[in-house]
């Protein structure tokens, strides 16, 4: 609460200083620079969500700027719309174009995505240049009606104040949005898409949402320029403008304050170098390289590092409640477990060319039990878990989870149906705090919609506080409470394994899939894991685990399933499987060495 108050006091000071600029000077050049800083911040604030938070690179946002600018120009100058209504419509139209770009573009990644957005920008630039009858090319559209108040058209001072109001509103809304469940989901998508899906975050939906947000703010920026100039032509829409917006975001850094810092520095630099275009372009290129390599966290990250070192009071850690009741699984997560079978897979088959890691496998998981899936390396265990969790779609077969068919269902929907999982190779959101990692796991259980999260008060605020408390309760269950505010990637390996388990528990699973949870753990940590799995079962959660540590398998399992070359060769109680000749043959290549297998299964060695 103290941090919030301090933030708003500083914001009030900055707003007062900027608002005073038009009162102390009437110089249009200076006022124009302040106006442009605001416009560039508005464009970059949304692009920051797309680039820095969601990890999508766009080099075509000049096209979305053009959508907003030409929309307001045509609606007011040609079709006589009210300028305020046209201004709002410009943002909406740009947002719709954002959807149009995102739906096909997000089927590709990395450089291919950047090329798609470049293509969109070039197409828009050509259309406004060549379609003379509608867009008037370089001649441009004159008579764009500016905003007005009380019948009086905005002058330069009014434009500065209006843009300042928009900037403050956007800053406050983005601060709330990015500090809540949506911001965590964006970062999760950026860091580990498969892990994000496994906790109920729709990667595709959040990528599209990020595109729409960035398109909306870019369209608003274009509308502001067109209405303030009362004119727009094709010279405004260039590839360099897309580069400039991207540079603001990258140079500013991954923070809600990054776009503001980038907009101030680069707008001032742009004004200083405007007389020397060649030097200007060279400077942009140098700064882009600097931002990408020498200062990967941007100017905001650099300032944050200095503040933590020399003025830690400016970035205080979140205050956490001291005592909370023990965490309990939600009733909804255990509903339907009266059925004798929680998950029922029949005839599951998946081939990769000539390799068949899952060959007509049947698997039945009973509620309330710990099931173990064992087998030699390459037996197809992880592939089967990926099929059950929706990451891999089987070529044939059926899977019923609590009576619902989940074949072909997206992993995020399967997670919301009550299937949680961990991964053989750790997939934490390593740059987020331990607490935020668990909050991402709670994503589907936080009742705060997009617009409520933008406002950040009322229901959304209560939901965030409740999520924080529940995340702390889960961390307490796994003895990670004292690490809540640490960065996840800084934890020792054993604690990272436990954190991934805590994040999976936060989804309130009916069935929890654990893919080699003891991998990399020392003997003491393995013994602690045995106790953790027992406590999870006591909570009413059914467990299916893959494990090579046979002492762990024997200690926690009610039922063991054995795979070899993609086929189920045995199942039963641990003792039954331990003495099964086919299992012995699969592990040792002979049926005459049962004693050696017994030693392996009771001595804790790796199979």
What structural domains does the chain harbor? 27-238 (no CATH), 331-603 (3.40.50.300)
**Token digits for 148?**
């007005």
Give the pLDDT band (50/70/90) at residue 583.
confident
Q: Which residue has the higher pLDDT, 601 or 401?
A: 401
Give the pLDDT band (50/70/90) at residue 602.
very low
- Judge contact between 514 and 422, C-beta under 8 A: yes
Question: Terminus-to-terminus CA distance in the chain, angstroms?
Answer: 53
Q: What is the pLDDT of residue 589?
A: 63
Q: What is the pLDDT of residue 111?
A: 74
Q: What is the pLDDT of residue 1?
A: 57
- Judge contact between 185 and 206, C-beta under 8 A: yes
Q: Please, what is the Cα angle at 411 between 410 and 417, to 5 degrees?
A: 95
Q: What is the pLDDT of residue 319?
A: 81
Considering the chain, what percentage of its residues have pLDDT values greater than 70? 94
Give the residues across from 373 on adjacent strands.
546, 561
Q: What is the pLDDT of residues 369-415, one digit of tens each?
A: 999 999 888 889 999 999 999 999 999 999 999 989 999 999 999 99
Q: What is the pLDDT of residue 77?
A: 93
pTM summary value: 0.90
**pLDDT at 115 exceeding the cut of 90:** no
- Lowest mean pLDDT: which of 105-119, 393-407, 446-460? 105-119
Non-local (6+) Cβ contacts of 450 within 8 A are 177, 182, 209
- Lowest mean pLDDT: which of 101-105, 377-381, 516-520, 596-600? 596-600
- Judge contact between 206 and 22, C-beta under 8 A: no
Give the pLDDT band (50/70/90) at residue 317.
confident
Q: What is the pLDDT of residues 46-88, one digit of tens each?
A: 999 999 999 988 888 999 999 999 999 999 999 999 999 999 9
Q: What is the mean pLDDT of the chain?
A: 89
Q: What is the pLDDT of residues 192-222, one digit of tens each?
A: 999 999 999 999 999 999 999 999 999 999 9
């Amino acid at each position: 609460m103290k941090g919030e108050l301090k933030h708003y006091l500083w914001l009030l000071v900055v707003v007062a200083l900027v608002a005073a600029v038009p009162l102390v000077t009437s110089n249009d050049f200076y006022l124009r620079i302040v106006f442009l800083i605001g416009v560039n911040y508005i464009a970059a604030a949304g692009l920051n969500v797309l680039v820095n938070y969601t990890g999508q690179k766009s080099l075509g946002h000049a096209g979305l700027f053009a959508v907003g600018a030409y929309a307001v120009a045509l609606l007011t100058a040609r079709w006589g719309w009210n300028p305020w209504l046209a201004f709002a419509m410009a943002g909406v139209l740009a947002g719709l174009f954002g959807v149009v770009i995102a739906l096909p573009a997000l089927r590709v990644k990395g450089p291919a995505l950047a090329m798609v957005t470049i293509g969109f920008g070039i197409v828009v630039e050509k259309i406004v240049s060549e379609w003379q009858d509608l867009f008037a090319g370089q001649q441009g559209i004159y008579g764009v009606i500016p905003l007005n108040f009380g019948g009086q058209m905005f002058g330069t001072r009014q434009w500065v104040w209006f843009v300042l109001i928009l900037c403050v509103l956007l800053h406050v809304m983005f601060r709330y949005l990015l500090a809540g469940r949506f911001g965590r989901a964006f970062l999760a998508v950026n860091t580990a898409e498969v892990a994000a899906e496994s906790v109920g975050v729709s990667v595709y939906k959040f990528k599209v949402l990020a595109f729409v947000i960035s398109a909306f703010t870019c369209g608003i920026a274009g509308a502001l320029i067109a209405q303030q100039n009362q004119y727009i032509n094709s010279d405004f829409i260039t590839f360099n403008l897309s580069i400039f917006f991207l540079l603001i975001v990258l140079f500013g850094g991954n923070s809600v304050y990054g776009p503001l810092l980038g907009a101030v520095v680069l707008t001032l630099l742009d004004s200083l170098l405007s007389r020397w275009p060649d030097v200007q372009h060279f400077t942009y290129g140098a700064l882009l390289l600097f931002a990408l390599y020498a200062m990967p966290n941007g100017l905001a990250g650099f300032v944050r590092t200095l503040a933590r070192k020399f003025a830690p009071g400016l970035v205080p850690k979140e205050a956490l409640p001291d005592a909370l009741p023990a965490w309990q699984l939600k009733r909804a997560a255990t509903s339907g477990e009266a059925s004798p079978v929680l998950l029922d897979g029949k005839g599951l088959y998946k081939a990769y060319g000539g390799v068949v890691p899952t060959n007509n496998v049947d698997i039945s998981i009973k509620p309330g039990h710990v099931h173990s899936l064992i087998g030699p390396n390459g037996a197809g265990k992880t592939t089967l878990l990926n099929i059950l969790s929706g990451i891999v779609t089987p070529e044939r077969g059926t899977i019923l989870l609590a009576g619902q068919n989940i074949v072909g269902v997206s992993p995020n929907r399967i997670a919301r149906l009550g299937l949680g999982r961990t991964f053989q190779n750790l997939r934490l959101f390593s740059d987020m705090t331990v607490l935020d990692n668990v909050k991402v796991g709670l994503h589907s259980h936080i009742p705060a919609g997009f617009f409520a999260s933008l406002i950040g008060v009322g229901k959304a605020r209560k939901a965030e506080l409740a999520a924080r408390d529940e995340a702390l309760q889960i961390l307490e269950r796994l003895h990670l409470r004292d690490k809540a505010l640490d960065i996840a990637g800084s934890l020792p390996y054993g604690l990272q394994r436990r954190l991934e388990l805590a994040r999976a528990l936060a989804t309130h699973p009916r069935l929890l899939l654990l893919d080699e949870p003891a991998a990399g753990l020392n003997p003491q940590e393995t013994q602690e894991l045995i106790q953790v799995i027992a406590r999870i079962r006591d909570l009413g959660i059914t467990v299916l685990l893959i494990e090579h540590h046979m002492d762990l398998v024997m200690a926690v399992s009610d039922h063991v399933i054995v795979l070899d070359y993609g086929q189920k060769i045995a199942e039963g109680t641990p003792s039954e499987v331990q003495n099964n000749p086919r299992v012995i043959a699969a592990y040792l290549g002979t049926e005459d060495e049962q004693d050696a297998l017994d030693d392996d299964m009771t001595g804790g060695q790796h199979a």
